Structure 1
Amino acid sequence: MLRSAVERYQYLPSVLALDTEVRGLLNAVGDPHRVAAVNARFEAIARASSVAAIYLLDRDGLTRSASNWNQALSFIGISYAYRPYFTEAVATGASRYFGVGNTTNRPGLFIGKAVPAPEGGIAGVVVVKVDLEGLQREWRQADEHVLVSDASGVVFLASEPSWKYRPLRPLAPSDTARILAARQYGDSDLRPLLAGDADGGTIKLAQGASAVSGIVERTVMPDLGWTLLYVAETDATLRYALLAALAAGISCLALALALAAAQERRQRLRSERAMRLTLERRVAERTADLSAANTRLRGEIAERERATAALRATQDELIHAGRLAALGQISMAINHEINQPLAALRTFLSSSSVFLERGDTATVRRNLKRMTEVTQRIGEIIRHLKVFARKTGPEHWEPVRLGVAAAAALDLLAARIRAESVQVSCAIPPDAMVRAEPVRLEQVILNLMVNALDAMRNTPERRLNLTAAREEASSWQLRVSDSGSGIPEEHMPHVFDPFFTTKAAGEGLGLGLSLSSLIVRDFGGSLAAGNGTHGAIFTLVLPAAEA
Structure 2
Amino acid sequence: MIGRSGNARRIWVALVVMTLCLAVAIGGNALLARYYIVATVPQGENILRLAVSGLRGELARYERLPDLMDRNPVLVRALAPDADPVRLAAANLYLRHLARLMGLSDAYVMAPDGMTVAASNFDQAFSFVGERFDYRPYFTDALAGGQGRFSALGTTSGKRGYYFGRALRDRGRIVGVLVLKVDMDAIEDRWRAAEYEMIVTDGEGIVFLASRRDWQFRSIAPLTPRTRARIAATRRYDDEPLLMLPLRVAGEAAGHDIRRLELPETRREFLTVSEAMPEADWTVHVLLDTAPARRQALIGTLAALMILGVGVALLTAWAQRRARLRERLSIQAEAQAQLEERVAARTAELAQLNARLGAEVTERRATEAELRRTQRHLVQSAKLAALGQMSAALSHELNQPLGAVRNFAANAVTYLDRDRAADARLNLTRILSLTNRMTEIGRTLRNFARKPNAQLSDVDLHDVLRDALEVIAWRIDRQPVALVVDMPPGPLRVRAGPVRFQQVVVNLVANALDALDGRPDGAIRIEGRRTDGRVLLTVSDNGPGIAQGLEDRIFDPFFSTKGVGSGLGLGLSISFNIIKDFGGELRILPSDRGAAFRIDLPEIAP
Bigger radius of gyration, 1 or 2? 1
Bigger RCO (CA 8 Å, 6+ sep): 2
TM-score band (shorter)? 0.3 to 0.5
In the superposition, the TM-score normalised over structure 1's length comes to: 0.42
